Amino acid sequence: MEKEISTKVKIRFSDCDPIGHLNNVKYLEYMFNAREDHVEDFYGFTYEAWTKKTGCTWITVQNEIAYLKEVRYNQKVVITSKTVFISDRTSTIEILMKSEDEKLIHAVLWVQVIYFNMKTRKSEIQPDDVKELFQKFQMDIEETDFAGRVKYFRKQNKQF
């Protein structure tokens, strides 16, 4: 089973600034859209269906993003996502925007989500079956903090 899920997308002109670079907020949009597709295609559910079924969902409590290499319009990129940390109530997802050949990292995004009951308006412990599903897509990484992970990717990018 592939633990790092990927999607290839083309950067659209309308999402770029006047000099042809992808706008910073659009990185997030492309990355979150890809993640939503990954969950549906590989985890087997949509967030909407999960909320209707269980009354719970995942709420983003923190985003950390680093822009490492510019992306230009009409460029094709690969967006990957994987779980990097899981606890009883939270999970951290890493989403990468890579060059089409997957050698360069254009951006890295860490999203920390908390499992949240919509009725009680409080966080809950993630059910065991959810944690097991997330663990199937969990990849161990050496870096335990975002700054260390960014440093790792900057060093890796210098090779290309």
Q: Which structure tokens are listed for 147?
A: 């700054």
Q: What is the rounded CA–CA span in Å between residue 24 and residue 75? A: 15
What pTM value is reported for the model?
0.94
More confident residue, 3 or 48: 48
pLDDT in tens, 110-129: 999 999 999 999 999 999 98
Q: Which structure tokens are listed for 67?
A: 């822009």
The full set of domains in the chain, from first to last, is 5-157 (3.10.129.10)
The pLDDT value recorded for residue 72 is 96
pLDDT in tens, 61-72: 999 999 999 999
pLDDT confidence of 16, banded at 50, 70, 90? Answer: very high
The pLDDT value recorded for residue 134 is 86
pLDDT over 70 at 53, yes or no: yes
pLDDT over 60 at 130, yes or no: yes
Q: What is the rounded CA–CA span in Å between residue 31 and residue 35? A: 6
Region of 123 on the Ramachandran plot (φ > 0 left; ψ -120 to 50 alpha; else beta): beta
What would the mean pLDDT of 13-18 be, rounded to a whole number? 95
Strand residues in 22-55 grouped as ranges (E): none
Q: What is the rounded CA–CA span in Å between residue 101 and residue 76? A: 9
Q: What is the rounded CA–CA span in Å between residue 114 and residue 73? A: 34
| Distant-in-sequence, close-in-space partners of 121: CB < 8 Å, separation ≥ 6 | none
